[in-house]
Structure 1
Amino acid sequence: DYCFTISPMIKPESGIKRMEHYLKDAASKEPSDWADSAIARWKKDLRLLDQFYEQTEEKPEEYHLEKQALKALYQPKIHIQIENGGLFFLQSNFSG
């Protein structure tokens, strides 16, 4: 009952773009002081790493691996994916 085949007002591609825009907008409004302190800690850790290897002219593979690990630690990537989705058409109950 009450099921009709109609063209959706919001196409799936448009809905995904709307969600992406909403998430980016919400994230940009969040405080970013944590990012500034993370960058400061990253620079401090890089200086410490460089101090360990300052006597060597050619840096060993461990140095580069550790440097990449620090980058991964302080520059995380945010990955968003849709796990489950659907189109829902809701009807208001009017008892008038």
Structure 2
Amino acid sequence: MPQRSKDRPFERSSRRDELPADWDERRAAVFARDGDICHVCFLPGANQVDHLVPGNDHRLENLAPIHGWDTPQRCHAFKTSREGNAAKPPLRRPPERHPGIA
């Protein structure tokens, strides 16, 4: 299986296909409204737009600037990882045998 490029971690993802046709305009509107201040770390230099509530709610109220995967801060990578881990079902230990059963 080919490895994902560090510069393009979602090159095989279908996520871009789920974005609305006017995504570029929405992205520009978010940066016009908020500037380049990351909504996670509050530092300038954000270069991507993030969904505040994960999913496919593309309303402007649910979008905010964030540092991308290609920045030193990598806020988008950390936030996405946190969300993915939170969505996983908890690991279940297999039931232990009763100590009195041989």
TM-score norm. by structure 1 comes to 0.28
In terms of fraction of residues, the more strand-rich structure is 2
TM-score norm. by structure 2 comes to 0.27
In terms of fraction of residues, the more helix-rich structure is 1
